Amino acid sequence: MSRSVGNIARLVARWMACLALALCSAQCRGVDNRVVSSDVNIGDWNERVELLYENSTAATRCDVDVVLHVNRNFTEREIPLEITFFTPDSLRYSECIELKAQAEWDGVADYYTDIVMPYRGDVSLAKEGVYRLTIRPLKSLSGVESAGVNFRLK
């Protein structure tokens, strides 16, 4: 009798583990991030940076963030940027925008951090192919080590 109780307990435990895995696969799935970035002049970033993003599926929807990797020399609170999107079929969208950017440091010894600034929500990448983006600061910035874009796929 105790042998069958042990078998039932193992069977229930396996079933619960499978159920937990299935639920996590269906609901706990993290956001699919696709980051493209490029190094910039750390002492004085004032040049346009070009980024290429390969979209492999038509009608992709995503939220887009600008991401800066900065060091302790970065002190800005707002950053004026010119951002231009070029679609695979040669359409172009350009705008000047000011994004809030505050570096937060986890500890005294930390020297680098990433700043994620929401740019556009629910963007439709309607074409398959390479999207080209350029980001240019409208004033010189120090302490920025790389600039990029995070596509948070939905």
Write out pLDDT tens, residues 48-61: 999 999 998 888 89
Instruction: Check residue 16 and give its pLDDT.
Output: 38
Residues of 57-96 as b/e, b for ≥16 C-beta within 10 angstroms?
eeebebbbbbbbbbeeebebeebebebbbbbbeeeeeeee
Three-class secondary structure of residue 125 per DSSP: strand
Write out pLDDT tens, residues 66-116: 999 999 999 999 999 999 999 999 999 999 999 999 888 887 778 999 999
Report the share of the chain in percent with pLDDT over 90. 66
Confidence band, pLDDT 50/70/90 cuts, at residue 31:
low
Question: Within 13 Å and on the Cβ side, how many CA atoms surround 93?
Answer: 9
